[in-house]
Amino acid sequence: MWNTKSICLFLLGFIGVGTVEGQTSVNSYEYSSYVDPRIGSEGLGRVFIGPSCPYGMVKPSPDCTPSPNSGWLPMPERVDGFAQVHVSGTGGGPKYGNVLVTPFGDGMDQVNHYDYREYETIRLGYYDTQFKQNGIRTEITTANRASFYRFTYPEDSLKSLAVDAGFFLGENPVPDAREAQQFVGSEIQVLSDHEVAGYTRIRGGWNNGKAYTVYFYAETDRPFVQSLTWKGNRITEAQSQYDSAEKTGALLRFAKNDKVVQLKVGISFLSMQKAKFNAHSEIPHWSFEKVHQDLLGQWEQLFQKIEIDPSTPLAKKRMFYTGLYHTMLMPVDRTGENPLWSDPEPYYDDFYAIWDTYRSSSPLITLIDPKRETDIVRSLVNIYKRDGYMPDARSGNSNGRTQGGSNAEIVIADAFVKGLKGIDYELALEAMLKDATVPPGGNEEAEGRGGLIPYLELGYIPHGIDRAGNRTVEYSYCDYAIALVAKGLGKENLYQRYLKQSENWKNLWRSDYEHEGAKGFIMPRDKEGNWLDSIPFGHSTRMQPKFKYTPVTFEGPWYTPWWGMFFYEASSWEYSLSIPHDVPGLIEKCGGAADFEKRLDIFFDKGFFNVNNEPSFLTPCLYHWLGKPWRSSDRIREIIAKNYNDGPVGLPGNDDSGAMSSWLAFHMIGLYPNAGQDYYLIHTPLLESTTFHLEGGKEFKVVAKGLSDKNCYIQGVTLNGKDYPYSALRHKDIMAGGELVLKMGKKPGNWGKELGLDK
């Protein structure tokens, strides 16, 4: 996997040497040069490949038919044009893909202008392609709320541009199809011979959300010599098209000698005037290179927060810094762009979804950019204050979907135990308690806790309620998060109540159930308390054939909604090992240390571990609780070697807004968080050294002395020169600055017999 020579040759072509016409050198940005947006773009990864600022609101890129979530598909798929708003790494139905611009030659008499790519160049902050049929070259970079294009037309071509206010991803001919976006309305107006403005209004999509409106202002540096507009498929000389529930757009033609045309597209969720302000304030000039350099500067400043050993093989550098990059694409900073309320609090959208990102992405952002994580948490709390519930997922200004627990609680607990300042934790606890005590009515798919009443009455959610298994497990962890914050705020009664409630996962633990050599599993139970050996096949009210339920079952026929299964996106084998707040209790339930180790071995060796989904994120580290961190290291290194690389199919599953990437980045460092708690598990890194440049000028360094493919076992550890026998490290130890030295050897040593969490 680490073929450094071939990667070096490839990267020289990738980053360029010096500056040539139409390209921007990135050689002056050391860490940024290692980022390759193509990693994870193909296969299951689905990452966004276009330019974006950190947490950027605008994400322009090619849209290759209305189907893919990120807009992009690899060549030779057709290109419809270039839209301004996208998500990254997501599963389920698409969202966004708004305000499409398409350069073309002939065709002022048609609305659509599909073409195919001759080539494409993808690198951090920059996209470049040339169309096969019309020969037009498109280059893209972006600011935070305005995108920037440079179109180069062939000499003999007509120079034209379409602005499509009606395009969006996920269009479905079935009215109100689940997870499909649906058109509501659009409007467009030619303001002058170089300005076009309008909006698009879309509803639905992955979170089945309410309608959102994307306003835009587009300005060219060359005047139009002709401008037409369309509504539906009717093209006219009218210079504006009002909203009448039909798609609208504009066709613009430039002078024959305008070989190069540049375009700014400002975006806003408030108004066309705000979109114009965003375009002019963020890009007050016409220098493509300056926009690109400013973008690279923003990323470089963040990448410099974590410095890895200069001798690291190039492929690993690419994997690591691209992992950091993916982690900081979402959620999206829309502070000052919230159409629902106005106040000075930060506003973030596109939590897609916290169920994915709380485990490793939020903790990584806390280390890279704690002020940013503070703003994100404040936004979650303010959404509760204004909207009634914190989201587990949110997109297009609408909460939804809640996949398992109300996981914003874990994000808040993570911030609280790690000492992030500037957050109203009393209000945050109030928001957490709202989730834990007030049923969301018929809106449980969007927010709050579905099945809350039986959960509180029975101590578990009975089979027959959607996702009863994983909800019970996840609510238990969310309750533990509430207990931690309550204890820290001096609320002893609340602490005791929710600490007890965090044991509810045990109420679905069927101790006598055996499968593949392991005993005890989270299994379905009815409201009367009976264990269910078989469950109904589907949801018919008339015919209810049953089938045997086992720990590897994904129940239901092809027509059963996956959303309504007992476990969401995982099996009982996975969820029965996903008790991150009470691993000692889990070990006891499994029969003790020896049986637990045997169970872990069965889990990995028989293929029950699912690398591409979040419920198994912590499981490779569970050997730590057995005093065998070297076994965790073996599993982690094997998982990464088999499933991650620095190529287009470099991620094993949907990146899920950076979840897969942040998991990788942490394990490359040799530290892994248990989200919502204040420690990191120490294991063998893939990097010889990592230096965190912390707030206040402090540094914390992780050094693996003598690390190699053979010297891959930790013999001993020192923290700031003193022996450190424990396999877990507190967050405060990192924040204090210092050095963690791992002494490596060829065989497992005696280090790490204890986690040290009680010290």
Q: What is the pLDDT of residue 485?
A: 98
Question: What does the pLDDT look like over 308-358, one tens digit per residue?
Answer: 999 999 999 999 999 999 999 999 999 999 999 999 999 999 999 999 999
554 band by pLDDT with thresholds 50, 70 and 90: confident
Q: Which long-range contacts (CB under 8 A, 24 or more apart) does 189-195 make?
A: 189/239, 189/240, 189/241, 190/224, 190/227, 190/229, 190/239, 190/240, 190/250, 190/252, 193/223, 193/224, 193/225, 193/227, 194/219, 194/220, 194/221, 194/222, 194/223, 194/224, 195/219, 195/220
Q: What share of the chain is helix, strand, coil (3-state, %, to 5)?
A: 30, 25, 45
Q: What is the distance between the alpha carbons of residues 544 and 558, in angstroms, rounded to a whole number? A: 15
Q: What is the distance between the alpha carbons of residues 276 and 294, in angstroms, rounded to a whole number? A: 20
Question: What does the pLDDT look like over 571-624, one tens digit per residue?
Answer: 999 999 999 999 999 999 999 999 999 999 999 999 999 999 899 999 999 999
514 band by pLDDT with thresholds 50, 70 and 90: very high
The number of C-alpha atoms within 13 Å of 290 and in the hemisphere containing its C-beta is 6
Tokens coding 247: 């798609």
Question: What does the pLDDT look like over 644-700, one tens digit per residue?
Answer: 999 999 999 999 999 999 999 999 999 999 999 999 999 999 999 999 999 899 999
Global confidence as pTM = 0.94
Q: What is the pLDDT of residue 4?
A: 37
Domain ranges of the chain: 4-302, 306-682
Inter-axis angle of helices 314-327 and 361-368, to 10 degrees?
A: 100
Q: What is the distance between the alpha carbons of residues 387 and 394, in angstroms, rounded to a whole number? A: 12
pLDDT more than 90, % of the chain: 89
Q: What is the pLDDT of residue 545?
A: 74
8 A C-beta contact, residue 250 and residue 192: no
DSSP 612: T
What order of strands is seen across the sheet that includes strand 137-142?
Answer: 117-123, 126-131, 137-142, 146-152, 260-268, 209-220, 195-204, 181-192, 240-241
Helices marked H in 343-467: 354-357, 361-368, 370-387, 408-417, 425-437, 452-458
Question: What does the pLDDT look like over 243-266, one tens digit per residue?
Answer: 999 999 999 999 999 999 999 999
86 band by pLDDT with thresholds 50, 70 and 90: very high
Tokens coding 438: 């007030």
Q: What is the distance between the alpha carbons of residues 393 and 386, in angstroms, rounded to a whole number? A: 16
Q: How close are the terminal C-alpha atoms of the chain, in Å?
A: 40
Tokens coding 223: 């005047």
390: left (phi over 0), alpha (psi -120 to 50) or beta: beta
The DSSP string of 126-170 is EEEEEETTT--EEEEEE-SSEEEEEEE--TTS--EEEEESS--SS
| 3-class SS of residue 199 | strand
Burial of 529 by CB count in 10 Å (0-12 exposed, 13-18 middle, 19+ buried)?
exposed
Nearest to 38 by CA among 48, 28, 25, 30: 48
Q: What is the distance between the alpha carbons of residues 657 and 531, in angstroms, rounded to a whole number? A: 37
Asked if CATH classification 2.70.98.10 holds for the domain at 4-302, the reply, yes or no, is yes
Task: Domain 306-682: state its class.
Answer: mainly alpha
